[in-house]
C-alpha cells in the first residue's frame, strides 16, 4: 500500500545517505493511501482519546476501508496528471467522505482542525502534485517477474499477534495478514500450487517482547532492563515504545503454530532471535532468563524450528547460525 505522498521524501533521504537509489518495483494493483486517509485516521485517533486503537497515523486502515468502494490503484495514480489526480481526490471527498463519517458517527468533527483540512482544496491539490512526482520513482511490474530472481525475500507486515484476523487483540490490530499467508499465496501462484521445498519461513523475535501503540501486552513492565530504539521513538499517535517479557514456551509458539497450520506451509521453519546483546545472550521470559543454548534445547522449541539465527549486535555481519 504505497504512500506516494511520502515516497519522494524518503527516496531522496535514502539517496543522500547512501549515494544511490535502488529500483522500486510495484504491482499495478497496489492500493494507494492518500492524504484523505491520513487526515481521517488522525482525526479518528484523536477523537478516541485514551481508547485509541494504536494507529501510527498513516491512514492504512482508512485506505483499506475506502478501497472497497472508492479505490485508488497504483496503475491509476502513475497514469494521471496532477490535475486528474486532484479531481479524483475531490471526488473521494465529495462522494465517499460523508458516507465514511456517517459510519463512524463523526460527522460533527468536520468543523475545525482535521475537518477543515479535509475541506481544504489547496491541501488536496498539493498532495496530488507530490503524489504524481513520487510516482516517477516506481516501476510497474507483473508478479510473474519474481520468478526471474534467484532469491525472493518477503518481509512480514508486523508481529503475528497483530494479524487482522487475531480477534483476541481487536481492535488493536493492523489491516493485513502479518505472517506467511500472503508470501505462501504468491509463491504458490508462481509455482503452480506448490510454494517449493526451498522456501524458508523465518520467524523473528527480539530476546524480549515489544509493542509500539495501544493494545494488550502481557508481562509488560517486568523486563528489568532499559532499552532504546532509534526506529521506534515516541510519537503522538503511538506514544512510548513498550517492552515486556516472553510468556511460557506454549505462549511463545502458539502464534507460529497457528500461522503454519493455517497456510499449510511445507518449507522449512526457522527462528531468528535479535537484540541478544541487550540481554546478555538470554531470552527474557516470565519464568526467568533462559540462555540461548538452553532455550534451543527445549524440546518444543527444537521440534518447531529447523534452523536458528542469532544476532548480538545491530550489524548484519555479526549474525550467527546455530
Q: Is the separation of the CB atoms in 131 and 77 below 8 Å? A: yes
Share of the chain above pLDDT 90, in %: 72
- pLDDT of 110 > 60? The answer is no
Q: From CA 152, how far away is CA 138, in angstroms rounded?
A: 19
What's the pLDDT score for residue 238?
Answer: 87
Q: From CA 66, how far away is CA 292, in angstroms rounded?
A: 45
- Residues 6 or more apart whose CB falls under 8 angstroms from that of 261 comprise none
What's the pLDDT score for residue 112?
Answer: 64
What's the pLDDT score for residue 158?
Answer: 85
- pLDDT of 109 > 60? The answer is no
- Residues facing residue 268 across a β-bridge: 200
Say whether 64 sits in a helix, a strand or coil: helix
Lowest mean pLDDT among 231-240, 295-304, 311-320: 231-240
Q: What is the pLDDT of residues 135-152, one digit of tens each?
A: 999 999 988 888 888 899
φ, ψ dihedrals at 79, nearest 5°: -95, -5
- pLDDT of 304 > 80? The answer is yes
Share of the chain above pLDDT 70, in %: 97
Q: From CA 198, how far away is CA 305, in angstroms rounded?
A: 15
Q: Is the separation of the CB atoms in 56 and 238 below 8 Å? A: yes
Query: Average pLDDT for residues 104-121, to the nearest whole number?
Result: 74
Q: Is the peptide bond before 27 cis (omega within 30 degrees of 0)?
A: no
Q: What is the pLDDT of residues 8-31, one digit of tens each?
A: 999 999 999 999 999 999 999 999
What's the pLDDT score for residue 118?
Answer: 87
Query: Per-residue confidence at 106, pLDDT binned at 50, 70, 90?
Result: low
Q: What is the DSSP letter of 276?
A: G
Q: From CA 314, how far away is CA 230, in angstroms rounded?
A: 11
Q: What is the pLDDT of residues 153-197, one digit of tens each?
A: 999 888 999 999 999 999 999 989 999 999 999 999 888 877 666
Burial of residue 221, with CB atoms counted within 10 A of its CB: 0-12 exposed, 13-18 middle, 19 or more buried: exposed
What's the pLDDT score for residue 160?
Answer: 94
What's the pLDDT score for residue 198?
Answer: 83
Q: Provide the CA 316 distance to its chain's centre, in angstroms.
A: 21
Q: Is the separation of the CB atoms in 270 and 280 below 8 Å? A: no
Least Cα distance to 47 among 117, 124, 119, 101 occurs for 101
Q: What is the pLDDT of residues 52-103, one digit of tens each?
A: 888 888 999 999 999 999 999 999 999 999 999 999 999 999 999 999 988 8
Q: Which residue has the higher pLDDT, 73 or 235?
A: 73
Least Cα distance to 242 among 262, 222, 270 occurs for 222
Q: Which residue has the higher pLDDT, 119 or 82?
A: 82
- Give Dmax over CA atoms of the chain in angstroms: 62
What's the pLDDT score for residue 5?
Answer: 94
φ, ψ dihedrals at 292, nearest 5°: -55, -45
Amino acid at each position: 500500500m504505497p504512500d506516494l505522498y511520502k515516497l519522494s521524501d524518503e527516496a531522496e533521504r535514502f539517496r543522500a545517505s547512501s549515494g544511490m537509489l535502488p529500483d522500486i518495483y510495484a504491482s499495478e494493483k497496489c492500493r494507494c493511501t492518500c492524504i484523505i486517509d491520513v487526515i481521517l485516521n488522525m482525526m479518528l485517533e484523536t477523537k478516541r482519546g485514551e481508547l485509541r486503537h494504536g494507529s501510527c497515523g498513516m491512514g492504512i486502515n482508512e485506505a483499506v476501508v475506502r478501497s472497497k468502494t472508492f479505490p485508488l490503484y497504483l496503475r491509476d495514480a502513475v497514469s494521471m496528471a496532477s490535475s486528474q489526480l486532484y479531481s479524483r481526490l475531490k471526488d473521494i471527498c465529495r462522494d465517499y467522505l460523508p458516507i465514511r463519517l456517517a459510519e463512524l458517527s463523526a460527522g460533527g468533527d468536520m468543523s475545525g482542525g482535521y475537518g477543515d483540512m479535509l475541506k481544504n482544496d489547496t491541501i488536496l491539490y498539493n498532495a496530488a502534485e507530490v503524489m504524481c512526482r513520487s510516482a516517477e520513482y516506481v516501476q510497474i511490474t507483473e508478479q510473474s517477474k519474481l520468478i526471474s530472481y534467484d532469491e525472493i525475500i518477503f518481509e512480514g507486515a508486523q508481529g503475528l499477534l497483530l494479524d487482522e484476523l487475531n480477534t483476541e487483540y481487536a481492535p488493536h490490530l493492523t489491516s493485513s495478514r502479518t505472517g506467511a499467508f500472503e508470501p505462501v499465496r504468491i509463491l504458490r501462484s508462481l509455482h503452480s500450487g506448490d510454494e517449493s521445498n526451498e522456501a524458508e519461513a523465518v520467524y523473528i523475535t527480539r530476546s524480549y517482547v515489544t509493542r509500539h501503540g495501544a493494545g494488550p501486552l502481557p508481562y509488560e513492565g517486568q523486563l528489568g532492563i532499559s532499552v532504546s530504539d532509534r526506529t521506534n521513538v515516541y510519537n503522538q499517535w503511538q506514544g512510548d515504545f513498550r517492552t515486556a517479557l516472553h510468556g511460557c514456551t506454549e505462549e511463545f509458539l502458539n502464534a507460529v503454530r497457528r500461522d503454519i497450520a493455517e497456510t499449510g506451509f511445507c518449507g522449512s521453519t526457522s527462528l531468528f532471535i535479535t537484540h541478544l546483546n541487550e540481554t546478555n545472550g538470554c531470552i527474557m521470559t516470565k519464568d526467568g532468563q533462559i540462555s540461548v543454548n538452553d532455550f534451543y534445547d527445549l524440546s518444543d522449541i527444537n521440534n518447531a524450528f529447523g534452523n536458528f539465527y542469532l544476532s548480538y549486535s545491530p550489524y548484519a555481519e555479526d549474525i550467527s547460525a546455530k
